[in-house]
Structure 1
Amino acid sequence: MSAVPPEPTPSQAPPTLATPTREPEPTSTKPSDFPKVKLRLELRDLSHESTDLFLKNFNSAKDFADLVDVVLKRLYTFPNHDDPTTSLPTPSTTKIPGTRSVTLILRDMDGVAYTTGSDIDNDHKEVHLSLSYLNHVASARAGYTARDEILGVVCHELVHCFQWNAKNTCNGGLIEGIADWVRLNAGFVPPHWKKEAGKSWDTGYQNTGYFLDWIEKSRGTGSVYVINQALCHQKYHEDTFWKDLFGQSVDDLWTEYTESLKKPKDSLDDSSLKMQVRIKKEVEGHS
């Protein structure tokens, strides 16, 4: 499991930006409205075969910055108030952790990746990525390449550099679920991911990520934004946290989600209708 550093110092961000959209690649080309972050790359073993694999599949001059922008947009943009898929109140302010730098370190280690604060201070983050793991995923699979996996893993870990954690009290499954929700909505979906109900809502990773995606669609676009902002302002108490935000306990939300998975795939629920309205509006706006 990826380690989440202690609570960082916040900075201000614009309260309302355009609604984020799914994109299969990091594609930001405009100057970001978010605070600039120093990005560094550290290669600890140039002779390792996975180092060459990484460099061939990751443009460190562009992909790194684009992924940071992807993460910040999905965590810290709130949809326009007239968006028909949004039922949540417009927030007055948005606070972003005061992360000043992120160093991506490639080294030979067990596991996949983890994130931690650096020795300088906690506003300087380190993302450690396993060369051994990259060697394991080197072979391309139909519709999914080593580049897809590298972008997906780095995207997940970057979320840990910029998300809130309720003053170190947040449920670990929610922390990991938010990271995989961002990865899911950025389009970096591994072939083994499945939208299914696990043992509990806080199993973490894609299991919780898909649950959060359902909340986003059923309770209003910007729901994950609201969850993350709540984790900035207060400690996490499960018996009140979810009810304060959505008027239901997380167990009730989870039950509703698991029931939704039993519906025929071709049936249209309320979230599907909302999505159709938004797509229709976007199409009409470009016609």
Structure 2
Amino acid sequence: MPPTPPTWPFPKFNLRVEDLAHPGAQHFFAAIRNPGTSAEHDSDNALEALRYAVLQSFIWLYAVPECAPTNVQQILLVMRPMDGVAYTFGSHTEKEIHFSLDHVWNQKDLSRARQEILGVLVHEVVHCYQHNGNGTAPGGFIEGVADYVRLHANLGPPHWRRAAPSRTDKWDAGYERTAYFLDWIDSASPFGEGTVRKMNAALVGDGVTWDNARVFETFTGEKVGALWRRYRVELGGEVVEESEETESEPRAATPVVVDETAPLL
């Protein structure tokens, strides 16, 4: 008898479309129904797309159902006309993802639109579940972890590239720049798969802050400046002297909104 599949703590999902006459609204539904380019992205409605996004967050940040957070009881997806792409906010138990119909409409090809919708949903759902040192983790790290999960879900947009950082690039620039760095730490470096998952787990608990968690030193044995320098050299960037890079941790961020996203775990 085959083993029982794991039971993940999925929340309740709701959908609100604020303007059904907007061309992005019908484009959204058509794109979701459009056959995916990969069986791993098999979903044909908004519910399945949201469940897929939650599952990716669970798999890449928590690995097993026993470790997945259970506090999120509801996720409301709001499709509406607005500038930008998407943002997430909410309470400890209820989250809202606001997604731009204008952005969806700008993805004219249905296959590309489908990939973008799923990719953005994965990124935003991560913000519903990731830990953040009680709001003290740098925004660049928070956004980098979200795109790290999107990267591992094979939903990166066409413009993403694993490029060598330049002299002026920073590890905590966020988004795909930080995502590729975290991916290197997690898989391409000697530190081993699961390092990012351990970093996330270390950023929850009473009294935990970015400064006292020291996730890079704790789980890699090195300061982030040294890691960034090695990453830069391995990817073919300019060789730098140690004196050219500080090895201090970045200044801890206050709970400001980054791309209008405020993780609340």
Report the TM-score when normalising by structure 1. 0.70
Deviation at 1:238, TM superposition (A): 7.8
In structure 2, what residue type is equivalent to 1:65? R
Which among 233, 241, 247 is matched to residue 259 of structure 1? Answer: 233
Partner residue, 1:232: 204
CA, structure 1 residues 138+238, in 2 after alignment: closer, same or farther (shift >3 Å)?
A: farther
Correspondence for 2:21: 47
CA positional deviation for 1:36 = 2.6
Which of 38, 42, 47 is matched with 1:61 structurally? 47
After superposition, the CA RMSD in angstroms is 2.0
Map residues 179-190 of structure 1 onto 2, 5 A cutoff. Answer: 179-190=146-157
- For 2:108, give the aligned amino acid: A
Name segments (4+ residues, structure 1) moved above 4 Å. none
Where do 5+ consecutive residues of structure 1 fail to align? 1-29, 79-92, 264-287
Please tell me whether the aligned partners of residues 97 and 164 of structure 1 are also in contact (alpha carbons under 8 angstroms). Answer: no
The equivalent of 1:216 in structure 2 is 186
Please state how far the C-alpha of 1:65 moved relative to its aligned partner. 1.2
Cα distance in structure 2, aligned partners of 1:32 and 1:103? 24
SS of equivalent residue, structure 1 residue 65? helix
Name the structure 1 match of 2:95: 125
Q: 1:132 to 1:178 in 2, by over 3 A?
A: same
Q: Is residue 245 of structure 1 aligned with residue 219 of structure 2?
A: yes
Alpha-carbon shift at residue 37 of structure 1 (Å):
0.6
Q: Distance in 1 between matches of 2:228 and 2:129?
A: 26
- Aligned counterparts of 1:246 and 1:133: Cα–Cα separation in 2: 38
Corresponding residue of 1:277: none
CA positional deviation for 1:97: 5.6
Distance 1:162 1:75 in 2: 9
Report deviation, 1:31: 5.6
Residues 5-24 of structure 1: per-residue CA shift (max 9 Å, x gap): xxxxxxxxxxxxxxxxxxxx
| Residues 97 and 251 (structure 1), Cα distance of their counterparts in 2 relative to 1, 3 Å cut | farther
2:148–2:176 Cα contact (<8 Å) kept: yes
Give the paired residue count. 214
Q: Percent identity?
A: 38
Q: In structure 2, give the amino acid aligned to 1:185.
A: H
Unaligned runs of 5+ in 2: 33-44, 238-265
| 1:244 Cα offset (Å) | 1.8
Aligned CA distance change for structure 1 residues 207 and 238 (closer, same or farther; 3 Å): farther
> For the residues of structure 2 that align with 1:31 and 1:105, how far apart are their CA atoms?
31
Determine helix, strand or coil for the equivalent of 1:237: helix
User: Helix, strand or coil: the match of 1:178?
Assistant: helix
Residue of structure 1 in register with 2:136 after alignment: 169
Q: Give the match for residue 114 of structure 1.
A: 87
Show the 5 A alignment for 1:10-25: none
Tell me the TM-score normalised to structure 2 length: 0.76
Q: What secondary structure is seen at the aligned counterpart in 2 of 1:155?
A: helix
d(CA) in 2 for partners of 1:32 and 1:40?
23
Partners in 1 of 2:5 and 2:18 — Cα distance?
31
Question: Residue 145 of structure 1 aligns to a residue in which SS?
Answer: helix
Correspondence 1:267-278 to 2 at 5 A: none
1:76 aligns with 2:62: yes
Q: Which letter does structure 2 place at the counterpart of 1:194?
A: R
> Whole-Å Cα distance in 2 between the matches of residues 207 and 46 of structure 1?
35
CA distance in structure 2 between the aligned counterparts of 1:136 and 1:57, rounded to whole angstroms = 12
Q: Residues of 2 paired with 1:31 and 1:56: CA distance?
A: 31
Equivalent residues of 1:104, 1:127 under 8 A apart:
yes
